[in-house]
Amino acid sequence: MNDPTQRPRRSFGEWLATKLAGDGEGSAPTGPVREVESDVLEVTADHTMVSFWAPWCGPCRMMRPLIDELAVEHDQDEHLEFVRVNVDTNPGIAEQFRVMSVPTLVAVDADGVEHARLPGLVPKRQLDAFIDQLG
């Protein structure tokens, strides 16, 4: 994977330092994963990883930093975005994708069509493989 056209991955520490430094105009740092605030899922990239979670879910709390880390590693990839959907506050999206348990990671295309699903708490290497299969 020494493709010179591929952007290098950054560590979470490197990403955090960059975000905390801001852009020189006093901007507040933002997270690597976009939180869905309405009951409508808007996709803005060719591939979107939708992380369904709930605040009361222990495995979701364990999965959250893994998703954040992946989002940081892929931060420079304009064709891939990560979003987080709280199933308690956004039940319509969870229903639309027929999410029956959390955590669940769903890969959707630019049209919002599901292409793959990964339910449950899984190790980071399995998350990496899930993302890599999308091409």
Sketch the domain layout of the chain as residue ranges. Answer: 30-132
Rounded CA-CA distance 7/42 in Å is 26
Rounded CA-CA distance 64/114 in Å is 21
**Active site annotation includes 60:** yes
In whole numbers, what is the pLDDT of the chain averaged over residues? 83
For the chain, how long is the longest CA-to-CA vector? Answer: 44
pLDDT at 25: 41
Residue of 33, 54, 60, 108 marked catalytic? 60
Q: Decide: helix, strand or coil at residue 44.
A: coil
Residues 12-18, mean pLDDT to the nearest whole number? 61
Residue 8 has pLDDT above 90, yes or no: no
pTM over 0.95: no
The CATH number for 30-132, chosen from 3.20.10.10, 3.40.630.10, 3.40.30.10, 1.20.1440.120, is: 3.40.30.10
> Among 27-36, 37-46, 59-68, 116-125, which is the least confidently predicted range?
27-36
Residue of 33, 57, 85, 105 marked catalytic? 57
Side-chain-side CA neighbours of 38 within 13 Å: the count stands at 4
